[in-house]
Amino acid sequence: MNKLHISLVLLALCLCSFVLAISMGSTTLSLNDILSSFTHHQDTPHTLIFELRLPRAGLAFLCGGMLALAGLLMQALLRNPLADPYILGISGGAASGALLAIMLGLGTILIQLSAFGGALLSIMLVFALAHSNSSWTSNRLLLTGVVLAAGWNAIISFLLTTSSNQQVHGMLFWLMGDLSYNQLSFWEIPLLISIMIISFIFSRHLNLMSRGELQAAALGVNTRTVRLILFSTSSLLTAVAISLAGSIGFIGLMAPHMLRLVIGSDHRLLVPATVILGGTLLILADTLARTVLAPTQLPVGILTAILGVPTFLYLLYRKP
Amino acid sequence: MTQLHCKHLDITIGKTSVCRDLNVQMNAGESWVVLGKNGSGKTTLIHTLAGLRQADTGEIIIQDQLLPNYSRQLLAQKIGVLFQNDEESFPSTVLESTLIGRHPYLNWMQWESKNDVILAEYSLEQMGLLPLKKRDIHTLSGGERRRTRIACLLTQNPDIALLDEPNNHLDIQHQIETLTILKQQFKNKLLFMSAHDVNLANRFCTHALLLLGNGEYICGEIKDVVTTENLEQLYGININKFSQGNQTLFFPA
C-alpha cells in the first residue's frame, strides 16, 4: 500500500464512520432516509440527523482529532512515544476541576470551565516545575507530569469517596469520557483547523525536533520558538477537548502510533492523518457507546479502549 | 579566506574552564583537530562554535560576520555539525535521515525536490550505504548509523564542518575511508574535528588545537603542536615517538 492508498482508505473510513453514526441509534435510518432528509426538512429523520446525531458525531470527530493531534505533537516534542495528555497529568488536572464542580452541583458550563481551568493549571505546573536553569530535558518534563498525575489521582479518589452516590455516577461518566451532554459550538471547528494548519507548517521542523533539539538547531530550526508554539497549541487542544468530552484516554496515544506503524514518521503526513484517524476512532467508539446496550449509554472511554487495544496490538506485532 | 575566527573567547562549563582568551583563525583548505582529555570541553567548544550555546565572553566570526548576526537557517547553510550521539526516537529510514540535511535550504512551504533526493543518494553511495536506504536506522549497526549521520552532513554540504569524534563506532577501514571522503569534500572548506586518535589526526589534519584542561591551550600547525612534549603535558603520561619514512607514530610509553 502506498501513501496515496492509505490516505484514501482513511478518508473512506472517516466517511463511513459519519454515515454509521448518523444511521445508528434508537431509530435505525437507512441510507435512503439519510439522503432524503437533505431535501425533506419536515420529516423526523431530518430532525434526528441534523439536530441530534450529526452534531454529536461532529463533536466526537473534533474531540478525537484534537486529542490525537495533541498526542502527536507532545510525542514529537518530548521525543517519547509515551507522551500524551493523560500521561502528562493534564487530564488529571481537568478531571479534578470537573469533579469538584460536579460535587458543588454546578451546571454544565461551569463544569466545563472548571475542567478547562484544571487542565491549564496542570500544564502550567508541569512546565513551571520542569523549567529550571532556562532549559529542561524531556525526561524531566515527563516525570514531572507522571508525578503530578499521581497527585491528581489522589484528589480524584478523594472527591469520589466523599461525594453522594448520585453524583458519583455522573463523575464516573465524566472520568471515562462522555459526549452526551455537550453541543458543538461555532468556534471549535476553526480552532482545530487553524491549529492543524500551524502544526502542518511546522511539521518538517517537527521531523527534525524528534531527532533531538541540538540536531534540529544545527540544521536551522529555531527550536525555542517551535517548541513554545507547539506546546501551547497542543495544551490548548487538550484543555478544550477534555473540557468538552471528559477525560477520554488512549486516543492521543493510539492514533499517532497506529499511523506511524503504517505510514512512517513524516509529520507532514502524520499531522492531517492523525486528526482524521483520531476523529474517526472517536465517532466509532461513541456510536457503539450509544447503541450496544441501548437504551443505556456507556462512557465512550470504555469503547475507545475496547476498539483500540486489539487494533494497536495487531499493528505492533504484525509481520512487516 | 578566513572561515572561522575566534577573538578573546572564554568558555566555561560548570566549574571547568574550556578555554580562556582563545584567539585562533581558521582558513578554508585547513583541517583542524582538537585534542584534550575526557571532560576537557571539546564537545562544549564545538557546540559553542556552532552557535548552540553561548560563550562567556569574546567573539566568533563566521566568514565575515559575527555569529549572532546569522539567522539559524543561514547559519545551518554555513556550519554543519556531526554530534557525538544521536537521539532518534521514532522509526525513520536511512534515506529520510540523510534527506534532513537539505532542511536549511528549504523555505517553510517547500518539500524536498528530486534534486535533493539525488544529492542524498549520492552521499549515501559515498558512504557505502545506498543498498540500505530503505532500512529503518534502528536496525543498523552503530557504525552504519554513524555513517548515515556523516552522509547527512555531506548532503548538508556546509562551508564549515564541525565533527565531534567522527571515528566513533567505525572500524579502521571505515575510519580511513570516511576521513578521506570528508577531506575530499571539504578540501576548499574548513574541517574541524575532535579526536582521541593522535596518529589518525596527524595523518589527516593540518592544524591542531590542544585544550590543556585549565583554560590554557596550544594551537598552530600540527607539526609544531603535536610533539612528544606537548602530548605529555596534555595527557599527563609518558609518550614515545616512532618514525619510519614520513610516518610518525606517538604511543604511550
Task: Give the integer Cα–Cα distance in Å for B161 and B189.
Answer: 8
Closest CA to A214 of A137, A268, A143: A137
Position A109: which residue type? I
* Cell numbers that stand for B79 in this block: 556550519
B83–A214 C-beta distance less than 8 A: yes
* pLDDT band of A179, cuts 50, 70, 90: confident
CATH code matching the domain that covers B2-252, chosen among 3.90.1200.10, 3.40.50.300, 3.30.200.20, 3.40.190.10: 3.40.50.300
Stretch among A36-50, A261-275, B7-21 having the lowest mean pLDDT: A36-50
A217–B89 C-beta distance less than 8 A: no
Taking CB atoms and an 8 Å cutoff, what residues of chain A touch B93?
Answer: 264
| Residues B123-134, mean pLDDT to the nearest whole number | 95
pLDDT at B117 over 80: yes
Per-residue confidence (pLDDT) for residue A131, from 0 to 100: 67
Residue pLDDT, tens place only, B26-72: 999 999 999 999 999 999 999 999 999 999 999 999 998 999 999 99
Residue pLDDT, tens place only, B24-34: 999 999 999 99
Cβ distance A183 to A52 under 8 Å? no
B77–A214 C-beta distance less than 8 A: no
| Residues A198-211, mean pLDDT to the nearest whole number | 92
- More confident site: A56 or A2: A56
Among B52, B90, B108, beta carbon nearest to A218: B52
- More confident site: B112 or A315: B112
pLDDT at A34 over 50: yes
Range of the domain at A155: 3-317
* pLDDT band of A134, cuts 50, 70, 90: very low
Position B106: which residue type? L
pLDDT at B225 over 80: yes
Residue pLDDT, tens place only, A12-29: 999 999 999 988 877 788
Residue A223, CA distances (Å) to A226, B112, B125 in order? 5, 21, 31
My answer on whether omega of the bond before A295 falls inside 30° of 0, hence cis, is yes
Write down the ipTM of this complex: 0.92
Cβ distance B153 to B97 under 8 Å? no
Cβ distance B155 to B119 under 8 Å? yes
Stretch among A175-179, B3-7, B66-70 having the lowest mean pLDDT: A175-179
B103–A214 C-beta distance less than 8 A: no
Rg (CA), chain B: 18
- The CATH number of the domain holding residue A227 is 1.10.3470.10
B87–A211 C-beta distance less than 8 A: yes
Instruction: Write the DSSP assignment of A10-38 as a string of letters.
Output: HHHHHHHHHHHHHH-SSSPPPHHHHHHHT
Hey, is the C-beta of A135 within 8 angstroms of any chain B C-beta?
A: no
Task: Give the integer Cα–Cα distance in Å for B23 and B14.
Answer: 22
Taking CB atoms and an 8 Å cutoff, what residues of chain B touch A210?
Answer: 88-90
Q: Nearest CA of chain A to the CA of B73: how many Å?
A: 4
Q: How many Cβ contacts (< 8 angstroms) between chains A and B?
A: 75
* Cell numbers that stand for A84 in this block: 500524551
Among chain B, residues having any CB pair with chain A shorter than 8 Å are 47, 50, 52, 72-77, 79-81, 83, 86-93, 96-97, 100-101, 103-104, 106, 108-109, 111, 156
Q: Is the dihedral of CA A92, A93, A94, A99 positive or negative?
A: positive
| Residues A201-225, mean pLDDT to the nearest whole number | 91
Residue pLDDT, tens place only, B184-195: 999 999 999 999
Q: Which residue has the cell 448518523?
A: A22
Q: Nearest CA of chain A to the CA of B32: how many Å?
A: 20
| Residues A179-208, mean pLDDT to the nearest whole number | 86
Identify the residue among B103, B105, B157 best suited for mutation to test binding to A, counting A beta carbons within 10 A and taking the highest.
B103
The total of structural domains in chain A comes to 1
B76–A81 C-beta distance less than 8 A: no
Residue B14, CA distances (Å) to A203, B41, B209 in order? 35, 10, 22
Stretch among A103-112, B78-87, B145-154 having the lowest mean pLDDT: A103-112
